[in-house]
């Protein structure tokens, strides 16, 4: 036997042995728990961070006094059975339902709610932002075993709308794990202390890699609404979009995130065992302009840019019509929007006229304009590329700068460092125009990423402040409509679309119920068909 054939035979033998041993159909059907493929938050502590992934933990492992459900989202009493407000809007009383148990079996009392709010305000992290300007820790008190009183320092109408942000935690579980007055934050980052419908298994938890949940049979809302609730859930986020889609098609996960790329929708729908849930959300796609930097300190220059974006081309062709045109800062499907509000149209001739006018007024239209995109979010890049091509036709040089969310938001703390333009979405943190127009265009929020247009209009500020403090819903609606008209007329930003959330789902998942708050991740409503 020749030398070559001996070496080749040895290699072939090794490969064949490995193949016999290890290559077997890998997707043999077996009863699986629900495998959730959406992103996990960086920490399990519901008072430490507030972003879209953290809502999954908040909705499933914890409960709040009120909760948003459905689409458009309805605010429904959850841990609380009712609430009342004083005439001046300063005192809010909530009554807890009777018989609520935490996952450790202990009873939930009004003192636990007080502890939770004081912990939130004491830690002073993101979820506290909605409350800290109007609520001091000592002004949250238990007035009875099941009644809690909040006394605000000034009337704040979105208070109730923001209440679902706050998870009620179990102080008896946290107390032994407090170190260096940290409110137990280091411990709670990888553990839970809630009353939610699902219990997280800390032993198998790995930050942003895996989280196992088991149904909590003693959940206060009960399980009679489902014949076969899901007992076990394994959250396994898939980092790469292509792998995430393949994993769904192959049956390795049962749900993708809710930002399925539009070019994958058809593919997922073609597969016999998968589908795409399409739901109009409340997540507005925006191209920001820094109104304190020339040329965007000139209204005509801003209008020039607003008319140079090809809304229809982007929404209908690039995103295949899977979004809804949104001409203003608030999502279309929210109250507080003028019913006849028209967004700007793509018209390069008109854009050029505005640019000429701005140039005549001394605006440096000819300078290179930077637009920062988020490298990991392809749509931000696509929007910038399309805009760049159209602006070039009217002699404007747009330079695309690749950045990250962390990089951009860090720069938006000052007007000088905020990019000329940047691209992002504003998601639903609470369902009130305050979440969008209120925090984006009231100049008191300058220095936050939401207000990074650095827009300043005293009349708008006044309207938004009145809307924030009024308890008359009709008046609030009118004030927000007025403010919206003024803001749109000033064109501080370019509002493109309201998101249609696209989540790839296995067909065995039943009862998926989308709400813009939580993006349909409420497991308690779901069941499996096999």
Task: State which of positions 114-153 bind other proteins (CB under 8 A).
Answer: 124-130, 132
Question: Of 130 and 505, which CB lies nearer to other proteins in the complex structure?
Answer: 130
Strands (E), 166-294: 198-200, 211-215, 232-235, 274-289
Range 318-377, binding other proteins (CB under 8 A): 376
Angle formed at CA 203 by CA 202 and CA 208, multiple of 5 degrees: 60
Distances (CA, A) of 94 to 107, 211, 220: 17, 33, 17
Min CB(446)–other proteins separation in Å:
9
Question: Of 7 and 361, which CB lies nearer to other proteins in the complex structure?
Answer: 7
Count helices and strands in the chain by DSSP H and E runs: 16, 18
SS3 318: helix
Range 461-520, binding other proteins (CB under 8 A): none
Distances (CA, A) of 439 to 249, 373, 433: 40, 22, 9
Strands (E), 177-235: 198-200, 211-215, 232-235
Distance (Å, rounded) from C-alpha 264 to C-alpha 501? 13
Angle formed at CA 81 by CA 77 and CA 87, multiple of 5 degrees: 85
Cis peptide before 295 (omega within 30 of 0): yes
Question: Of 205 and 305, which CB lies nearer to other proteins in the complex structure?
Answer: 205
Q: Which residue has the tokens 């749509």?
A: 379
Distance (Å, rounded) from C-alpha 518 to C-alpha 35? 17
- 86, containing H or E segment: none
The binder of other proteins chosen from 448, 469, 513, 527 (CB under 8 A): 448
The binder of other proteins chosen from 142, 214, 221, 246 (CB under 8 A): 246
Distance (Å, rounded) from C-alpha 280 to C-alpha 257? 15
The binder of other proteins chosen from 154, 172, 250, 399 (CB under 8 A): 250
Distance (Å, rounded) from C-alpha 20 to C-alpha 526? 40
Distance (Å, rounded) from C-alpha 360 to C-alpha 461? 30
Range 38-57, binding other proteins (CB under 8 A): 42-43, 45, 48-51
Min CB(414)–other proteins separation in Å:
9
Question: Of 37 and 295, which CB lies nearer to other proteins in the complex structure?
Answer: 37
Nearest alpha-carbon partner for 368 in 405, 393, 399, 409: 399
Question: Of 156 and 309, which CB lies nearer to other proteins in the complex structure?
Answer: 156
Range 380-409, binding other proteins (CB under 8 A): 403-407, 409
Min CB(19)–other proteins separation in Å:
9
Q: Which stretch binds other proteins (CB under 8 A): 82-90, 207-215, 218-226, 294-302?
A: 207-215
Range 12-31, binding other proteins (CB under 8 A): 14, 21-27, 30-31
Q: Which stretch binds other proteins (CB under 8 A): 56-64, 112-120, 243-251, 459-467?
A: 243-251
456 is a contact residue toward other proteins (CB under 8 A): no
Range 178-197, binding other proteins (CB under 8 A): 185-186, 189-190
Question: Of 14 and 98, which CB lies nearer to other proteins in the complex structure?
Answer: 14
Min CB(448)–other proteins separation in Å:
6
Q: How many residues bind other proteins (CB under 8 A)?
A: 75
Q: Where are the alpha helices (DSSP H) in 44-109?
A: 54-61
The binder of other proteins chosen from 74, 82, 153, 206 (CB under 8 A): 206
Question: Of 186 and 226, which CB lies nearer to other proteins in the complex structure?
Answer: 186
Encoded tokens for 416:
């000088």
6 is a contact residue toward other proteins (CB under 8 A): yes
Min CB(9)–other proteins separation in Å:
11
Strand-strand pairing, 232-235 and 34-36 = parallel
Min CB(489)–other proteins separation in Å:
28
Range 255-314, binding other proteins (CB under 8 A): none
């Amino acid at each position: 036997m020749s030398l070559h054939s001996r070496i080749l035979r040895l290699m072939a033998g090794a490969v064949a042995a490995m193949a016999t041993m290890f290559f077997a159909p890998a997707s043999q059907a077996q009863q699986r728990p629900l495998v959730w493929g959406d992103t996990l938050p960086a920490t399990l502590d519901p008072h430490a961070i507030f972003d879209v992934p953290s809502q999954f933990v908040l909705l499933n492992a914890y409960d709040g006094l009120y909760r948003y459900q459905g689409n458009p989202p309805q605010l429904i009493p959850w841990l609380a059975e009712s609430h009342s407000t004083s005439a001046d809007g300063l005192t809010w009383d909530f009554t807890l339902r009777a018989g609520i148990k935490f996952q450790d079996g202990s009873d939930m009392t009004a003192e636990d709610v007080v502890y939770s709010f004081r912990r939130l305000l004491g830690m002073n992290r993101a979820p506290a932002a909605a409350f800290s300007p109007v609520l001091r820790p000592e002004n949250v008190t238990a007035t009875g075993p099941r009644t809690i009183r909040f006394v605000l320092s000034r009337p704040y109408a979105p208070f109730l709308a923001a209440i679902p942000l706050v998870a009620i935690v179990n102080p008896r579980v946290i107390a032994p794990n407090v170190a260096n007055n940290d409110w137990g934050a280091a411990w709670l980052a990888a553990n839970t202390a809630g009353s939610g419908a699902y219990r997280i298994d800390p032993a198998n938890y790995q930050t942003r890699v895996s989280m196992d949940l088991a149904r909590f049979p003693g959940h206060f809302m009960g399980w009679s609404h489902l014949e076969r609730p899901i007992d076990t859930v394994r959250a396994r986020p898939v980092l790469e979009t292509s792998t995430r889609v393949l994993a769904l098609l192959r049956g390795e996960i049962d749900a993708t995130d809710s930002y399925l790329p539009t070019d994958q929708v058809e593919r997922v729908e073609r597969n016999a065992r998968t589908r795409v849930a399409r739901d109009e959300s409340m997540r507005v796609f925006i191209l920001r302009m820094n109104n304190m930097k020339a040329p965007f300190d000139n209204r005509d220059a801003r209008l020039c840019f607003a008319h140079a974006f090809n809304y229809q081309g982007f929404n209908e062709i690039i995103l295949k019509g899977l979004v809804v045109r949104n001409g203003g800062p608030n999502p279309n499907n929210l109250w507080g929007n003028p019913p006849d509000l028209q967004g700007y149209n793509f018209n390069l001739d008109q854009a050029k006229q505005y640019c000429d006018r701005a140039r005549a007024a001394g605006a440096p239209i000819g300078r290179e304009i930077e637009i920062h995109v988020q490298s990991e979010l392809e749509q931000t890049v696509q929007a910038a590329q399309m805009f760049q091509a159209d602006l070039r036709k009217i002699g404007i040089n747009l330079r695309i700068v690749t950045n990250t969310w962390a990089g951009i938001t860090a720069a938006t703390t000052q007007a000088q460092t905020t990019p000329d333009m940047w691209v992002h979405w504003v998601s639903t943190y609470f369902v009130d125009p305050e979440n969008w127009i209120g925090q984006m265009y009231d100049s008191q929020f300058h220095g936050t990423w939401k207000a990074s247009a650095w827009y300043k209009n005293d009349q708008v500020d006044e309207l938004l402040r009145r809307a924030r403090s009024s308890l008359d819903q009709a008046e609030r609606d009118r004030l927000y409509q007025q403010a919206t008209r003024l803001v749109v007329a000033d064109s501080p930003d370019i509002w493109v679309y309201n998101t249609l959330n696209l989540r790839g789902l296995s067909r065995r998942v039943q009862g998926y119920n989308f709400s813009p708050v939580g993006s349909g991740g409420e497991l308690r409503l779901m069941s499996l068909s096999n």
